[in-house]
Structure 1
């Protein structure tokens, strides 16, 4: 297969995902959807359709093929490594009061939507089920480490660790994984009509979530992104995925496992980071700028990354 065919095959995977993001941007600009719709749809995705998608993808999966403790363990360690790298850089180059926001923006990816959508497009059912299991690690690691970074530079406010722990434990995506794994392991079957209804409901997740991401993009915020937002965005979209994917390859990951890891490491900064920054009294404008800039960059960096890995015969 020539490089042109590889590149066109890469676009077949990445273009539909990012096209939906820009559809959301257009719908908001034309006034077809408003902030109330975005808020309601985002809640529906987070609390309902995405947990359903994760649950169904896991119970339909062959756990012998997708439950890979080595993959999950490596992702957790590499996430910790990217967190420490971002923090170390922030200690050297970022003003004290902005360090927590910078660190979160530089390591916390949007695995639940962008990476999962790309994994589904690239690897089908395997991408959904293995990606769903990775989400359990993603949610725990990203939330816990983000709180540590933000709380370390929080001024004049007391961090409510108990409340944060309860919120993580009640996260619908974590609950979906916790419930789905024993159901799949025991081979418990659900009635056909319930599976079909669940699949209808779950199929709303990716298009609705991607439209909401696009609708919340602010081109003005992207234009006003300063040095800190640009630095955090380059760390998230270039440095972290290159180093983490190289490390994964060096320890023996290849094929679809390496591809899956790359997609999760290369995903843009999660929109949830803005909510956490705002709740903990950080610089919400900086957080929003990082989200906007990384989302825009992702269409280029992820496409080039997948193309490069495919051209090299690694995935």
Structure 2
């Protein structure tokens, strides 16, 4: 019941963000400030606190990296097979990317940190960093291939290099590997900032969620939900079971890869010729539906 209560509270804050946007209280400028606070302050603090006192050898493993790579590309391949010769090119490209592109930063890591212990959270931070490096370039390539858009892949890769969350991950792993101490007051302050990551991220995601009824297609959206919230975590479960990883790595990997579709897929669809309205609808539906699927997933992993 504790997990269900936490997920329902997450849904409540998410819908609060949507309601505040609809009422005008959370306008574009305020949402941007909240987003900047979450992205540049709270999430990096959470990642750093999760990793700075962990051994890099215990967090990074060939099985973790290989398993994540297999799950992302296998889900993408299944999505391509499921959606080929269906829908328009713009809608097809969005259906493919939203089947594997997970919301790891704004929902995944904060939820793991609020639900599991420090070791699982540290490994989830590594999953966040590594899978982001996979899914972001893959999403840009898929969208630009279908639309023929001139994607600035080099610019996006440079943005990744200056990503504050990835920078905090590298710093945390480096300090953990060197065994350097972090002063207690600094650790306490960063821990307090990291605790803000989930509520801030949920408000930002909620403010970005939109439903455009003309773009509604039960078949198309249903297939994205089934692949993202059903196929991908089941595939992760099978792959990491076969790789015989330890319990913490299994838990972190499966839960993180079971997250809903990232809000950023709507942004990339808008910029690179995808069906933006369809993308926005799918982000909303997968996020709301994930409350039920994550409850089942977390309960079964237990």
Preserved contact between residue 18 and residue 209 of structure 2 (Cα < 8 Å)? yes
For structure 2, the residue ranges without an aligned partner over 5 or more in a row are none
In structure 1, the partner of 2:281 is 289
| Aligned mates of 2:117, 2:9 — CA distance in 1 | 14
Matched, 1:276 2:265: no
CA deviation string 1:251-278 (max 9, x = no partner) = 3246333222221121010011111122
Count of aligned pairs: 301
Could you state the TM-score of these two structures normalised by the residue count of structure 1?
0.86
Aligned alpha-carbon RMSD (Å)? 2.3
Q: What are the equivalent positions in structure 2 for 1:140-289 lying under 5 Å apart?
A: 140-155=133-148, 157-218=149-210, 220-221=211-212, 225-226=216-217, 227-253=219-245, 255-289=247-281
Offset at residue 205 of structure 1 (A): 1.4
Offset at residue 209 of structure 1 (A)? 0.5
Moved more, 144-153 or 209-218: 209-218
Query: Which residue in the other structure is 2:103 paired with?
Result: 110
Q: In structure 2, what is the Cα distance between the partners aligned to 1:70 and 1:261?
A: 11
Which residue is equivalent to 1:127? Answer: 120
Any unmatched runs of 5+ in structure 1? 1-7
1:89 Cα deviation from its structure 2 partner: 1.9
Change (3 A) 1:30 1:127: farther
* 2:132 equivalent in structure 1: 139
Separation of aligned partners in 2, 1:244 and 1:57: 23
Cα shift at 1:17? 2.9
Structure 1 match to 2:43: 50
Give the secondary structure class of the aligned counterpart of 2:77. Answer: helix
Q: Is the 1:123–1:256 contact (alpha carbons within 8 Å) kept by the matching residues of 2? A: no
Deviation at 1:13, TM superposition (A): 4.8
Which secondary structure state, in structure 1, belongs to the residue aligned with residue 117 of structure 2?
helix
In the alignment, what sits opposite 1:11?
4
Question: What TM-score results when the alignment is normalised by the length of structure 2?
Answer: 0.90
The 3 A distance-change label for structure 1 pair 64 and 14 is: farther
Note if contact 2:127-2:253 (Cα within 8 Å) is conserved in structure 1: no
Q: 2 CA distance for matches of 1:154 and 1:210?
A: 31
1:146 to 1:195, Cα distance in 2 relative to 1, 3 A = same
Give the CA deviation at 1:14: 3.0
CA distance in 2 between counterparts of 1:196 and 1:50 reads 15
Distance 1:61 1:23, change over 3 A: farther
